[in-house]
Structure 1
Amino acid sequence: MHYPAPISRLIDSFMKLPGIGPKTAARLAFHVLDMKEEDVMNFAKALVDVKRELTYCSVCGHITDTDTCYICQDKTRDRSIICVVEESKDVIAMEKMREYKGLYHVLQGAISPMEGIGPEDINIPSLLTRLKDEEVQELILATNPNIEGESTAMYISRLIKPIGIKTTRLAHGLPVGGDLEYADEVTLSKAISGRTEI
């Protein structure tokens, strides 16, 4: 279908977002057309502001609008524990839990040979620097439970082992409210091997 050039460019722009196909992109573009101009301008400004005003924390790699993020600046955090995650959205998910009181390190990706991403392409060197400089006693590897996340966790744990810092991995298994019959074999295997006494 042929759209006027401005709508066509907007559809193409929406399609660059993850999970947005041609139909959803067209629906969003036509929704923008129906919005008030002030709302469209605020939306466009929000997009530009995200790119211009946010950067990565010089200590942990989390997104921030200052040189050091609010978590690294918080003197009440337990500085003996660092939780290693793949993305900033993982930090936000952990913070919603309100139980973890340590620091974070954001890798900004995971090792993925299929995509040409090696250890040197993610935020591992600064993690090693932090481990030398800070009084870290435990490193929690909270990478995703997929091939890339597991590979990244294994790689980091091998690097850390000679340093002598306790390295742990988040437990994996059945989600609360999940049914056994719908769980795959890998999930069940992780749940069995990670069982705890009650």
Structure 2
Amino acid sequence: MAYTVPAIEELVQALRQLPGVGPRSARRMAYALLERKRPAMGELAAALRRADETVSHCQRCNNLSDAPICGLCQSSRRDPRLLCVVETPADVAAIEATGTYDGFYFVLMGHLSPLDGIGPEALGIDRFEALLDQGFEEVILATNPTVEGEATAHFLADLVRMHGLRASRIAHGVPVGGELEYVDRGTLSSALSGRRAIED
């Protein structure tokens, strides 16, 4: 039977919960922290605790924030005519990095997936609809170009049109099956610039 240290195994299992971290990567990280990076362990633990205690969701756009209303929603420099809907906070960061979009956001924190029990109520659609009555002219649907992302975009487009607003979809410079946070800035910038209206 292989020799194991329970505390190390617990650390490995905790690290495996992170996206993209498999068992071997988690074990390498655990040993690196324990062998050479002991001071970093305290910093990491403190940062995790601080984030857990202070970060929640913006009451307006649902993005991650350390204040009731996030800095993007409070900014007077954003274009009040544009609202961009994305699936995750990482997607907001990816779009902001392009420097080509200056409107507001709404973060769904996922996408419609009936097979997984994720319906409109799980995505805060009531809060999204409340935003639609705040003077926007165009709603850019920037959900991922996956089957679930496309279904979510079509569902949201119907809601947007019911409120008398223009619904557009980011252009497909983004690869099908890809996720926005992994797309390079040039492709994402081009996709945003070439967005198109969603037709009935």
Structure-2 change in CA distance of 1:62 and 1:76 (3 Å) = same
DSSP-derived class of the 1:78 partner:
coil
Post-superposition shift, 1:195?
10
Partner of 2:62: 61
Partner of 2:167: 167
Post-superposition shift, 1:2?
3.3
Taking the aligned partners of 1:7 and 1:195, their CA distance within structure 2 comes to: 49
1:47 aligns with 2:48: yes
**Structure 1 portions without partners, runs of 5+:** 176-190
Structure-2 change in CA distance of 1:27 and 1:90 (3 Å) = same
- Letter of the aligned partner of 2:114 in structure 1? P
Runs of 4+ in 1 over 2 A off after TM superposition: 35-38
Taking the aligned partners of 1:33 and 1:174, their CA distance within structure 2 comes to: 40
Taking the aligned partners of 2:7 and 2:195, their CA distance within structure 1 comes to: 56
**Structure 2 portions without partners, runs of 5+:** 176-190
TM-score, normalized by length of structure 2? Answer: 0.83
1:114-155 deviation digits (Å, cap 9, x = unpaired): 2111111112111100112x1110000000000111010000
Partner of 1:183: none
TM-score, normalized by length of structure 1? Answer: 0.84
Taking the aligned partners of 2:29 and 2:38, their CA distance within structure 1 comes to: 15
Structure-2 change in CA distance of 1:142 and 1:48 (3 Å) = same
1:148 aligns with 2:148: yes
Structure number with the bigger relative contact order (C-alpha 8 A, sep ≥ 6) is: 2
Structure-2 change in CA distance of 1:64 and 1:8 (3 Å) = same
1:44-71 deviation digits (Å, cap 9, x = unpaired): 1111122111111111011111111111
Partner of 1:105: 106
- Identity within the alignment, %: 38
Q: How many residues align?
A: 178
Taking the aligned partners of 2:37 and 2:27, their CA distance within structure 1 comes to: 18
Calculate the aligned-residue CA RMSD, in Å: 2.0
Taking the aligned partners of 1:195 and 1:64, their CA distance within structure 2 comes to: 28
